[in-house]
């Protein structure tokens, strides 16, 4: 009897594996179903009861396609390990692995990946990944002669289809209506959704014929003519994971902008991001395409805003303390901060953003007297290890969350540690402004800051970022955008500052405005420039 229990037929192995995926890896899916039921209280309880069966039948049918001798064990071991990670992200943080998140994952570096390793993630991998993978490895799967095995598999698959057909016969309209009202359901099905997204990413980036590269703005010309003879200097600070609702400037009730509040920054209200993850937002915000027509494959095959500035004779430098520029800065001077470069500010795994201030000092000390754009890509509020984003002396809001499994911190602790990152970024911005003020004898300086996307901190059960844009909460898409403009810059570039402050207060901005705003600020004229998207154009005399 025990021997029979240990020995599994292929079909029994398939069905048991499918049940495991339904009962464990799809727990987040049933959480979404529960929310859907709460919105639709008159739903038939028998229909709801069929959902686990429907999913088990469907997965069993799909899994049968891969239960081939010599393939079955390595395939399901790898699939189970991957599904374990996806399940943990969805269960703990409500993160969905769609195409954008897959793209972000592929572009995550080693140091960034380690930030997600904690006790909870290790235990999850042990219990739902490694242990089941070991049991799959040890399973005694018995194979019959080829044609007999094939017949049994076909009959099994037909039985699964019959089960699906019977459920659909009685509840097709219910499934259709419930699915329309809860479109996000399909994104939580493990493993089909993340496998589909990963397959699409691999196809787009590795299997399709590369798109011919398209230069943009080769006609670009710098038409600035500052009467005082000083060149323009713009420092663009690109933030990471900063959301506007945690900014004092946007109505937040904590002093998260204490460092810049007396520096006369202009606050652009109601600004939205192009995506909810760096791998999407960063190339999108510098591309000629807007969010609605953005295509990552085309974006990587054409010039960016910094390339057009470079074509126009503007000196462009990119300094990165985050996860890289995602191709945006590949054709201009760029430096990624060495994580061992400063023993006081770097640990070998990360650097505090103050390291960029030192790099800015070095650059300004030897800067050419020509129109220049310097991009500082900060690590800002990158989670989940928010507590590693600010030095101890900038730990102003306490108690904070001194751990990476942020879901186990209290709401106040989590909010405090995130707010510390915002306040620290505000300090970085204030120091950039001070350094630019000290350059006014040589340059007409200005500063522009905006974040790549926002962050969820437990609202509606969601953490971190990367949600599909169609269902992303405002916490992940509403971002801060700030500007500081020196008196000489505004005067020599004919900017009406009162007009700009009034225009900024009206709101309605997005990453779509960045491309043309950069060209406009630096007086670069080209056929690809669209004045209607330049947020400074209406206030330029």
Over residues 7-47, the pLDDT tens digits come to: 899 999 999 999 999 999 999 999 999 988 887 767 889 99
Angle in degrees, CA 239, 245, 246, rounded to 5: 65
pLDDT for residue 226? 78
Rounded Cα distance, 541 and 527, in Å: 21
Instruction: For the chain, list the domains and their CATH numbers.
Output: 2-206 (no CATH), 221-539 (3.40.720.10)
* 73 class by beta-carbon count within 10 Å (0-12 exposed, 13-18 middle, 19+ buried): middle
The reported pTM is 0.86
DSSP state at residue 484: E
Through-space distance between the first and last CA atoms of the chain, rounded to whole angstroms: 89
**Model confidence over 224-262: pLDDT tens digits?**
887 788 999 999 999 999 999 999 999 999 999 999 999
Beta-bridge mates of residue 272: 478, 510
Pairing of strands 333-336, 315-320: parallel
Instruction: Report the C-alpha gap between 460 and 483 in whole angstroms.
Output: 32
Q: What DSSP designation does 351 have?
A: B
> Using alpha carbons only, what angle is made at residue 7 by residues 6 and 11, rounded to the nearest 5 degrees?
125
Query: Alpha-carbon dihedral of residues 100, 104, 107, 109, nearest 10 degrees?
Result: -170
Distances (CA, A) of 359 to 1, 284, 365: 71, 26, 10
Burial of 186 (0-12, 13-18, 19+ CB in 10 A): middle
Contact between residue 54 and residue 176 where contact means Cβ atoms under 8 Å apart? no
Strands (DSSP E) contained in 178-298 are 221-222, 232-239, 266-267, 271-272
Dist CA 202 CA 36 (whole Å): 33
CB 243 within 8 A of CB 451: yes
Helix (H) or strand (E) segment spanning residue 16: helix 10-20
Bridge partners, 377 (sequence order): 238, 320
| pLDDT for residue 2 | 34
Task: Determine the pLDDT at residue 300.
Answer: 92
Measure Cα distances from 329 to 14, 283, 432 in Å.
48, 9, 21
Kindly report, residue by residue over 170-195, the tens digit of the pLDDT.
999 888 888 878 888 999 999 999 99
**CA–CA separation, 227 vs 233, rounded Å?**
15
d(CA 380, CA 399): 20
Note the pLDDT of residue 375. 98
Ramachandran angles phi, psi of 287, nearest 5°: -90, 165
The alpha carbon torsion through 316, 333, 479, 500 (nearest 10 deg) reads 0
Q: Are strands 372-377 and 232-239 parallel, antiparallel or unpaired?
A: parallel
User: H/E element holding 105?
Assistant: helix 99-106
What whole-number distance in Å separates Cα of residue 30 and Cα of residue 186?
11
Beta strands in 401-520 (DSSP E): 444-451, 456-457, 463-464, 478-479, 481-485, 509-510
Where are the alpha helices (H) located in 143-299, listed in sequence order?
146-181, 192-202, 278-285, 296-299
- Do 458 and 411 form a contact (C-beta atoms < 8 A)? yes
Q: Say how far apart CA 343 and CA 190 lie, in whole Å.
A: 43
Q: For residue 6, what pLDDT is reported?
A: 61
What DSSP string runs through 330-346? TTSEEEEPPTTS-TTTB
What integer pLDDT is reported at residue 103 of this predicted model?
86
Residue 392: how many CA atoms within 13 Å on its side-chain side? Answer: 1
Whole-number pLDDT of residue 333: 97
- The low-confidence residues of the chain, meaning pLDDT below 70, are 1-6, 41
């Amino acid at each position: 009897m025990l021997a029979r229990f240990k020995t599994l037929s292929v079909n029994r192995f398939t069905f048991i594996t499918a049940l495991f995926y339904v009962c464990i890896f799809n727990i987040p899916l049933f959480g979404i179903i529960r929310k859907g039921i709460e919105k639709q209280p008159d739903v038939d309880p028998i229909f709801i009861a069929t959902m686990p069966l429907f999913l088990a039948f469907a997965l069993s049918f799909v899994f049968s396609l891969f239960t081939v001798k010599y393939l079955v064990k390595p395939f399901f071991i790898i699939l189970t390990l991957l599904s374990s990670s996806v399940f943990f992200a969805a269960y703990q943080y409500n993160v969905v692995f769609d195409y954008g998140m897959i793209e972000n994952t592929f572009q995550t570096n080693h140091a960034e990946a380690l930030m997600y390793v904690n006790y909870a993630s290790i235990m999850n991998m042990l219990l739902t990944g490694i242990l089941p993978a070991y049991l799959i490895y040890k399973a005694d799967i018995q194979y019959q002669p080829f044609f007999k095995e094939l017949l049994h598999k076909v009959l099994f698959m037909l039985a699964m289809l019959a089960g699906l057909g019977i459920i659909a016969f009685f509840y097709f309209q219910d499934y259709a209506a419930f699915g329309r009202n809860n479109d996000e359901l399909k994104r939580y099905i493990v493993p089909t959704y993340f496998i589909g997204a990963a397959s699409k990413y691999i196809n787009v980036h590795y299997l399709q014929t590369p798109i011919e590269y398209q230069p943009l703005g080769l006609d670009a010309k710098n038409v600035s003519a500052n009467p005082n003879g000083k060149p323009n200097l713009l420092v663009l600070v690109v933030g990471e994971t900063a959301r506007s609702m945690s900014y004092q400037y946007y109505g937040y009730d904590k002093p998260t902008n204490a460092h810049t509040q007396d520096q006369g920054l202009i606050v652009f209200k109601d600004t939205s991001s192009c995506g909810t993850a760096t791998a999407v937002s960063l190339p999108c915000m510098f591309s000629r395409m807007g969010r609605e027509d953005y295509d990552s494959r085309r974006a990587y095959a054409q010039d960016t805003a910094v390339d057009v500035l470079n074509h126009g004779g503007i000196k462009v430098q990119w300094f990165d303390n985050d996860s890289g520029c995602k191709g945006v800065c590949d054709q201009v001077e760029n430096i990624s901060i060495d994580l061992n470069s400063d023993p006081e500010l770097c640990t070998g795994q990360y650097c505090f953003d103050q390291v960029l201030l030192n790099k800015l000092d070095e650059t300004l000390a030897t800067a050419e007297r020509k129109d220049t754009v310097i991009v500082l890509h900060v690590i800002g509020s990158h989670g989940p290890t928010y507590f590693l984003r600010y030095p101890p002396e900038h730990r102003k809001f306490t108690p904070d969350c001194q751990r990476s499994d942020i879901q186990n911190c209290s709401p106040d602790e989590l909010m405090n540690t995130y707010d510390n990152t915002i306040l620290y970024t505000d300090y970085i911005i204030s120091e950039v402004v001070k350094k630019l003020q000290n350059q006014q004898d040589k340059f007409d300086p200005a500063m522009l800051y905006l974040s790549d996307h926002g962050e969820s901190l437990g609202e509606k059960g969601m953490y971190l970022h990367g949600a599909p844009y169609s269902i992303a909460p405002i916490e992940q898409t509403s971002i801060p955008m700030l500007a500081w403009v020196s008196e000489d810059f505004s005067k020599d570039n004919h900017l009406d500052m009162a007009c700009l402050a009034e225009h900024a207060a009206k709101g309605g901005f997005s990453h779509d405005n960045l491309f043309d705003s950069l060209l406009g600020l630096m007086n670069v004229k080209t056929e690809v420039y669209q004045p209607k998207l330049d947020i400074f154009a209406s206030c330029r005399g």
